[in-house]
Chains A and B, each alone.
Chain A
Amino acid sequence: MSGLEDLYREIILDHYRTPRNRGELDPPAIKAEGHNPLCGDEITVYLSLSGEGDDAVIDDIKIGGQGCSISQSSASMMSQSMKGKTVAENRALARRFKALMGIDGIEPQDGDDAIDLGDLEALEGVMKFPVRIKCAVLGWNTFLQALDAGGGTTSTE
């Protein structure tokens, strides 16, 4: 049981049972869809921004779609951490989180180490279950996709 308790920590189950920021946003909010072909997880991220470029602030973020406890709780915690912060801050948060998940090719930037992941640290246990890492990062990649393409589709495969 030891491994499983590490994966399914209480805070993760809490976000899974009661996901935060569920819903949709109407245009002009931007929207991106992500899916994991392996298990059929689907996540939609809606972002409402004010301002321009990296200084724009995420006024609102909503999460749609369905999936496993890991993808859903990760997206829920992500939405909670991102609201009210700038695009630059949230990109750094995403880098920090993906580094925590051991994703290759992340180039840390000055100050990343200082970023407090808060509840998101609980997802550390996912590292012991490599097939679930894709679930944990799906929402994050979808978020980045929304920023980069102003919407679109992403896939974790």
Chain B
Amino acid sequence: MAFDQTAVRKDFPILSREINDKPLVYLDSGNTSQKPQRVIDAMSHFQEHTYAPINRSSYRLAGEATDAYEKGRVAIARLINAPSVDEVVFTKNATEAMNLIAQSWGRANLGEGDVVVLTEMEHHANIVPWQMLVQERKIQIRWVPLTADGQLDLTNLDNLLDGAKVFSFTAMSNVLGTITPIAMLCERARAAGALSIVDACQFVPHNVTDVQSWGADLVAFSSHKMCGPSGIGMLWGRMEILDAMPPFLGGGNMIDTVTFDGFTTAPVPMKFEAGTPPIIEAVGLAAAVEYLEEIGMANIRQHEMELSRYTLDTLKGRFGDDITIYGPDDVKLRGGVFSFAFRDLHPHDVSQVLDERNVCVRAGHHCAKPLMQTLGVNATTRASIYLYNDTADIDALADGLDNATDIFGL
């Protein structure tokens, strides 16, 4: 065991909740993660003692609040090994970070016929902002296909990247669990003269992240999937690139000066943080990062690899041909999200039966409808794990599937 699992479970108050006298089995962290007591306390404490506007007022309390907000930025920079704290931009979530990139960098640099390369396993957050530019700018999208076991098929990558301006890809699929060869893909993008953008939403919460060793240009992720609060997301980018990008939203906080004739922008990161930012959320996020760092990202990854092995072996062992689990079987190549088809049952029915035992999973297209098309399904059931899950949770999932078999008389 990479860390004290029993102690970690106790850190998350919601995990001791019971519904109908039965414990909660939370297997939906790929969707959003639960929060440790420390994050909840940090946000309450901040509101009880320190809350005030940031960057605007000169009294001491406002200074303290500004410092607390900025501590969130420092924590994120440390977590992902960013060369400079100023390169971390706070947004509402990863989706907003992707839209910021497409609207700001995209509108400044992309025109008719320009090519953006995506992969077939992207989340809608890394598809629709580009499709909006297809409508608006007549850019073109090329898709990197997948292999049968749900990895990127890179055979044709050089052709796909030939002449491309952007290569935007996920670090880890939220459906297949597949972890992509991030550094290599960034290198290939660079060689082709394309901007590299990494959707690291599923990766950062579960792995050691080093944006410098990736050699990425821009990276987006969300706080709520990494034990932090909802309402705050991150864009990290190389300063050179962020500096050259026009602002995304306009308003207070993002300006240097405004006259009747126009405005000048504040430096990065404030240039991209228009309006009152998620102040309380940044404080909670800082606490979440500290919590994850204490346990250790490498230990979390280790735990999840072990539990992933257990999950794959348990489900395949108990259900054999009755279950199809998408994505790679090698836990070194995947994270802990398991999308599956169970017998001929619709995912909605599977999740309904599981819910009866408080087993929380997601059923649907997981905001990756094009990928569903590639897989040839309408929807899947998805169980996803985090540091607080253990083998008992997986056993509960498997028992719940047995129950589904019974109910549907299969």
The count of chain A contact residues (Cβ–Cβ below 8 Å) is: 22
A41-B407 contact given A3-B356, A132-B352, CB 8 Å threshold: no
**A39 at the A/B interface (Cβ < 8 Å)?**
yes
Contact B352 A66 (CB under 8 A): no
Contact A68 B348 (CB under 8 A): yes
Q: How far is the CB of B45 from chain A (nearest CB, A)?
A: 36
CA distance A66 to B344 in the complex (A): 11
Can you report 30 A-B residue pairs in the complex whose CB atoms are below 8 A from each other?
A1-B356, A3-B356, A4-B352, A4-B353, A8-B408, A13-B408, A17-B408, A38-B364, A39-B346, A39-B348, A39-B364, A40-B365, A40-B378, A40-B379, A41-B346, A41-B348, A41-B378, A66-B346, A67-B348, A67-B378, A68-B346, A68-B347, A68-B349, A69-B345, A69-B346, A69-B349, A69-B408, A72-B346, A132-B348, A132-B352
Besides the contacts A4-B352, A39-B379, A40-B372, what 10 more A-B pairs have beta carbons closer than 8 Å?
A: A1-B356, A3-B356, A7-B352, A17-B409, A42-B378, A67-B378, A68-B346, A69-B346, A132-B348, A132-B352
- List of B residues within 8 angstroms of A4 by Cβ: 352-353, 356, 407
- How many A-B residue contacts, CB cutoff 8 Å? 50
- In the complex, which residues 1-47 of chain A have their Cβ closer than 8 Å to any Cβ of chain B? 1, 3-4, 7-8, 13, 16-17, 38-42
- List of A residues within 8 angstroms of B352 by Cβ: 4, 7, 129, 132
Contact B409 A13 (CB under 8 A): yes
Q: Which residue of B lies closest to A135 (CB)?
A: B348
CA distance A135 to B347 in the complex (A): 13
A66-B348 contact given A3-B356, A13-B409, CB 8 Å threshold: no
Q: Which residue of B lies closest to A35 (CB)?
A: B378
CA distance A8 to B410 in the complex (A): 14
- List of A residues within 8 angstroms of B363 by Cβ: 39
Contact B353 A39 (CB under 8 A): no
Q: Which residue of A lies closest to B346 (CB)?
A: A68
Q: Which residue of B lies closest to A10 (CB)?
A: B409
Q: How far is the CB of B58 from chain A (nearest CB, A)?
A: 48
The one of A3, A7, A67, A129 in contact with B346, judged by C-beta atoms closer than 8 angstroms, is A67
CA distance A120 to B365 in the complex (A): 29
- List of A residues within 8 angstroms of B372 by Cβ: 40
Q: Which residue of A lies closest to B377 (CB)?
A: A40
- List of B residues within 8 angstroms of A72 by Cβ: 346
Q: Which residue of B lies closest to A16 (CB)?
A: B408
Q: How far is the CB of A14 from chain B (nearest CB, A)?
A: 10
Residue from B346, B363, B365 having most chain A Cβ neighbours under 10 A: B346
Q: How far is the CB of A33 from chain B (nearest CB, A)?
A: 13
CA distance A42 to B372 in the complex (A): 14
CA distance A50 to B349 in the complex (A): 37
Residue from B347, B348, B353, B372 having most chain A Cβ neighbours under 10 A: B348
| Interchain residue pairs A-B with the least CB separation, the first 7 | A68-B346, A40-B378, A68-B348, A40-B379, A39-B348, A69-B349, A4-B356
Q: Which residue of A lies closest to B347 (CB)?
A: A39
Q: Which residue of A lies closest to B353 (CB)?
A: A4
Contact B348 A8 (CB under 8 A): no
- List of A residues within 8 angstroms of B365 by Cβ: 40
Contact A66 B378 (CB under 8 A): yes
- In the complex, which residues 54-68 of chain A have their Cβ closer than 8 Å to any Cβ of chain B? 66-68
CA distance A40 to B347 in the complex (A): 10
- List of B residues within 8 angstroms of A8 by Cβ: 407-408
CA distance A66 to B376 in the complex (A): 13
- List of B residues within 8 angstroms of A16 by Cβ: 408
CA distance A4 to B353 in the complex (A): 7
CA distance A104 to B293 in the complex (A): 50
Q: Which residue of A lies closest to B348 (CB)?
A: A68
CA distance A72 to B408 in the complex (A): 14
- List of A residues within 8 angstroms of B409 by Cβ: 13, 17
Digitize B345-389: 1 where CB-to-A-CB distance is under 8 Å, 0 elsewhere: 111110011001000000111000000100000110000000000
